[in-house]
Structure formats: structure tokens, C-alpha cells
Amino acid sequence: MKVIGIETSCDETGVAIFDTHSGIVAETLYSQVAVHAEYGGVVPELASRDHIRKLVPLMREVFAKAGLNFGDIDGVAYTSGPGLIGALMVGASTGRALGMAWDVPTIGVHHMEGHLLAPLLEENAPQPPFVALLVSGGHTQLVEVLALGDYQLLGESVDDAAGEAFDKVAKMLDLDYPGGPHVARLAEQGQAGRFTFPRPMVDRPGLDMSFSGLKTAALYAVQDLQQASANGQLHEQDKADICLAFEQAVVDTLAIKCRRALEQAGHKTLVMAGGVSANQRLRSKLADATAKLGAKVYYPRPAYCTDNGAMIAFAGALRLQAGQADDLRLQIRPRWPLTELSAISTD
């Protein structure tokens, strides 16, 4: 079965074709970063308009790369939530229209399920049951995956998502959007020990997390340095030291919660996914933490950590293959708890 996947939930337009026999056949991605850069964050209306502009050319490109015709496609998957309402509408209406035109079933995919299943696209794929750490710009969640599609929420951020905190700290330091990769790069030059930021909520039992206090601690450090500086500007080294302290605090907090989640759920497999799972410090910290427990961590290649069409084509293909498909309603769900999904039968 060949399924075309369309991702338009935020600021990336992604299209990919997944074949249930041979895997990802072709993919393409367009990032709107340049469109939103001058605003320091995603402007929803500009995002929708840019998806409209780019989606059809990207689809043509993916068919050309794959050497396939429209008639070769057996199903269409598109992100139907969570995300920006206008942006989701572009992918959903295009996906549904193509399904009708090509007379194939369509399916709306949960964006975070796409992230969660992305590590299964790798050669050494994890098998449920496992604990998943979902860390993106909009979500930070620990999820117990009993079977594909059967998700129990173990804990989540009570305020900012980890990626959002990275982006806000980057903004305080005049770094470009999205901030995560820039903060991580500067942190490599940081001096350990100059600043120590709190590890929020680690001394409390439970698996919820909080990142907004940590962001405020970073803001106070920035303000103190600005006041102490003759021209009100921070030196590159100051910025690097703040980035390092911030990144260490986020990574430590996530590692403590992941260890606790594995112990609580009694699983030996941890899967991480979402934009922040591209972070090298987080990857190596979680590799150490899981090794100490005799457990193993899995994550997608960096290109499948951040938003992409491949993860949507894959998640959609699993559900279409299991006989699920859209009904006649055109439904998008800007807010959509992952726990409302149904199990994907693999019989």
C-alpha cells in the first residue's frame, strides 16, 4: 500500500510517500523559518498562506522524485491536529480533495502520534510496550505506549513545553527562531558552573514537569548581566554560559522524569521524539540514564525529530492498513488529546 502524507500543522510543509512494503519512497520539506524570522515566532495567518503556496508544488516534486503517478497512490494521510487551525485546514482540505479525486481513503493523523511513531521508521525499531518522551515546541509529555495507538499519559509539562522554553530563552539572547538549535550550538562554548538554574519539580513525586520558572531564572541572569554591562549588551561568552546552564537544567529535568517513568511503568525501552529530541546533550544524557537502568533509548534521525511529512505518511499508513479511514466529515482538531486515539490493530 502506498500512502502520501501531508504535514501542515505549524511552520513546515512536509510531503512524503510511504510504501508499506519498502518504507519511505520519497519526501520533501519546506521550512517557513524565513517567513516568520522577523517576528521571532510563528505568525499563524502567514503560515496558512505559505502552506497554500507551497503544498501543490511540493506534492508534484514528491511524485517526480518517487517516479510515481497519482494512480499509484492507495491512500492519503494528513495532519488533522493538534496545531494551528488555518494551517491544519490547508493540509486537511487538500488531502480530502485528493482522496475524492483519486477515489482512495483518507485519514486525519494526530501530529504527536506522527512524532511518537517516527522512531519506528528507523532500521532498529523499538517495539511496544515502551515509555515515550514527546518533546516538541508545543508539547512535553511522557506517554506509556502499551500497543500502537494505545497511549496513557504519565506526565506532562504544566506550563511551557521544553521546546517553547528553548525558543523563549533564545529570544532573550537575540538568537534566531526557532531557538533550540541555536541555544544548543552556543551551549557548546559555554563554561560549566558559572550559572546554575533550577531543575523544576524534580523533588516532587510524580511525572509532571514545569519549564516556565527555569525560563524566568534565565531571564533574571540576562537582566543582571545587562545591568552590569557598560553598553547593556551581553558578551558572546555570557550568552554561551547561559545557554549551557539552561540546556543542562532542561536535560537533567527530562532525564530524571524519564528514569522515574521507566521505573514506574516497569518498561525497559524509552523512545524519544519531537523537535527537542534532536538535542545532542539530551540524547547522550538519556543514553546514560537508561543504560544505568538496563534499559535502551531509541530516537529518530534528526530530520525525523522535527516536523516532516514522512512521519504522517507512516502513521496514516498504519491506520489505513488496519482498516481505519475518515468518514464524510471534514474534521480538524486544533486541540486533541493523544489519549483519545484508538489502538491500531495489526492483525
Query: Quick one: which of 79, 136, 253, 290 contacts Zn ion (CB under 5 A)?
Result: 136
Q: How far is the CB of 71 from ligand KG4 (least distance, A)?
A: 32
Segment 145-174, which members bind ligand KG4 (CB under 6 A)?
163, 166-167
Is 306 a residue that touches ligand KG4 (CB under 6 A)?
Answer: yes
In this structure, are strands 12-19 and 2-7 parallel, antiparallel, or unpaired?
Answer: antiparallel
Q: How far is the CB of 66 from ligand KG4 (least distance, A)?
A: 24
Is 10 a residue that touches ligand KG4 (CB under 6 A)?
Answer: yes
Is 275 a residue that touches ligand KG4 (CB under 6 A)?
Answer: yes
- Joined together, the cell numbers standing for residue 218 give 534565565
Task: Give the x-and-dash track for 299-318 against Zn ion (CB under 5 A).
Answer: --------x-----------
Q: How many residues does the chain have?
A: 347
Nearer to Zn ion, 290 or 308 (CB): 308
- Joined together, the cell numbers standing for residue 208 give 509532571
Q: What is the 3-state secondary structure (H, E, C) of 215-235?
A: HHHHHHHHHHHHHHCCCCCCC
- Joined together, the cell numbers standing for residue 246 give 539552561
Task: Give the x-and-dash track for 178-197 against ligand KG4 (CB under 6 A).
Answer: xxxx--x-------------
Nearer to Zn ion, 75 or 178 (CB): 178
Among ligand KG4, Zn ion, none, what binds residue 86 when CB lies within 5 to 8 Å by partner kind? none
CA–CA gap between residue 237 and residue 222 (Å, rounded): 12
Query: Quick one: which of 271, 278, 286, 297 contacts ligand KG4 (CB under 6 A)?
Result: 278
Segment 67-126, which members bind ligand KG4 (CB under 6 A)?
115
CB 280 within 8 A of CB 251: no
Distances (CA, A) of 279 to 157, 201, 272, 282, 336: 18, 22, 11, 5, 26
**How many CB atoms sit inside 10 A of residue 80's CB?**
28
Nearer to ligand KG4, 119 or 180 (CB): 180
Residues in CB range of 173: below 8 A, 6 or more apart: 183, 186, 222, 234, 239, 242, 243
Is 136 a residue that touches ligand KG4 (CB under 6 A)?
Answer: yes
Provide the binding-site residues for ligand KG4, judged by CB under 6 A. 10, 115, 136-138, 163, 166-167, 178-181, 184, 274-276, 278-279, 306-307
